[in-house]
Amino acid sequence: MELRLCNHSSYPRIGDAAEHQLLRRTLTQRDKGEKTDDAVRAAQDRLTELALAEQAEAGLDLVTDGQIRWDDPVSHLAGKLSGVRVNGLLRYFDTNFYFRQPVVSGQPARTEPLLLSEFKFAQEKSSRAVKAVLTGPYTLARCSVEENAGAGGFDKILEAYTAALAAEVAALAAAGAKVIQVEEPALLKYPDDFARLEGSLTALARGKDSAQIVLALYFGDPGPLYDRLQTLPVDLLGLDCTYDPSLIDRVASTGAARTLVLGLVDGRNTRLEDPDAIARQLENVARSANLNLAYLSPSCGLEYLPRDRARQKLRHLAVIRNTFLGSPA
């Protein structure tokens, strides 16, 4: 089994070193009127380059732009759509990170590209293949609130978000994105909405052309949905394997109809995993599930870790792969 290494999505945009404080400093100065928006963009560019370099140095095969420019996973996309304004802070799932909640007063619509320039910048600056990442329509809809029934209810909001992001997927694919990750952590909180997600993904994938779509599920255990996930119209399944240690055994015993991105490295705790134990799990998957290819990844975005520990986790992916390759497969 070929084992590729990839980042999940976000990467810390701050660290203890002075150069890692650049964006925070510049934003503060901009808010005081001492710096311009151009200066903020330059700082974002610089921090994105640093994130790309650290991922490459760690030996990853597939990197992301680290979502350095994102205020949060929700308002960065929804806030750019017409018919939507962003409001107060809400906790993002069970993290101690907060997002600004979209308030939907009309039909959300894409009037401009959402991530295109960010992806192009990363692609231009990266020595490795870049995965585009976007928060999925279902999660955006779940994180939004409707104002005065102006959008026609949850399903209409989901439909509108799906249309907006389908256009973005098509634009990213046309710009050369080979892998596009759609993040839908909300499904694990609302598993009964599986059919809704399936419909949304089907529409989303229509414009992907030859790009591969990754469905990323995290902040919960995807195990109960594992069999049904194999039927979804996506190319890869990204699974958070940290909530239930037996999920990886399930993968080994039942195999997979999609290429798997195995989130075996905990993106939310600093404790480093035992590389021997994970290598054994991977060996079991390789032997039993008859997979030709899998990705090893953090379980979720790495922004929940301090920068030094996030970097350590990325390097740990390579340690685990080396252990796996050295093991008698």
Partner 1 sequence: MSRAKLLELGIELPLFPVTAVGSFPKPDFLLKARTDFAHGNIRRGALEKSERQATEFWIRQQEELGVDVLVDGEMYRGDMVAYFAENLDGFEEGGLVRSYGNRYYHKPIIISEVHWDEPITLEWWKYARGLTAKPLKAILTGPYTVMDWSFIEYYPDRRTACRALAHELRKEVEALIEEGAKIIQIDEPAISVRPEELPVAIEAMHILTDGLPGYFITHICYGAFQNIYPAMLELPVDNFDLEMSNSQLDMLDLLKKSPFTKDLSFGVVDVHTHLVEPEPEVEQRLRRALELLPKEAIWVDPDCGLKTRTAEEAIAKMQSVVTAAKTLRNDSGK
318: closest CA among 52, 2, 3? 3
138 touches partner 1 (CB under 8 A): no
Contact between 244 and partner 1 per CB under 8 A: no
Residues touching partner 1: how many (CB under 8 A)? Answer: 34
Q: Does 150 bind partner 1 (CB under 8 A)?
A: no
What is the dihedral angle through the alpha carbons of 53, 54, 58, 63, rounded to the nearest 10 degrees? Answer: -70
Strand partners of residue 10: 66
CB of 198 vs partner 1, minimal distance in Å:
25
Separation CA 105–CA 102 (nearest Å): 9
Query: Which of 128-136, 169-177, 263-271, 285-293 is the region at the interface with partner 1 (rule: CB under 8 A)?
Result: 263-271
Interface pick for partner 1 out of 18, 32, 33, 96 (rule CB under 8 A): 96
Identify the three-state secondary structure at position 64. coil
Q: Which of 89, 293, 325, 329 binds partner 1 (CB under 8 A)?
A: 89
Using the minimum distance from each CB to partner 1, give the nearer residue, 58 or 260. 58
Pick from 244, 21, 298: which is nearest to 133 by CA? 298
In the list 131, 208, 307, 313, the residue contacting partner 1 (rule: CB under 8 A) is 307
Residue 235 lies near partner 1 (rule: CB under 8 A): no
Give the integer Cα–Cα distance in Å for 48 and 121: 9
Q: How far is the CB of 21 from partner 1 (least distance, A)?
A: 9
Asked if 24 is part of the footprint of partner 1 (rule: CB under 8 A), the reply reads yes
Q: Whose CA is closest to 12, among 279, 305, 299?
A: 305
Residue 148 touches partner 1, criterion: CB under 8 A: no
Residue 233 binds partner 1, judged by CB under 8 A: no
Contact between 324 and partner 1 by CB under 8 A: the answer reads no
How far is 277 from 282, CA to CA, in rounded Å?
Answer: 9
Alpha helices in the chain (DSSP H): 22-31, 37-57, 75-78, 116-125, 137-142, 154-174, 186-189, 194-205, 226-229, 247-254, 275-288, 307-326
- Which residue ranges make up the site for partner 1 (CB under 8 A)? 12-16, 23-24, 27-28, 31, 71-72, 88-91, 93-100, 269-271, 303-309
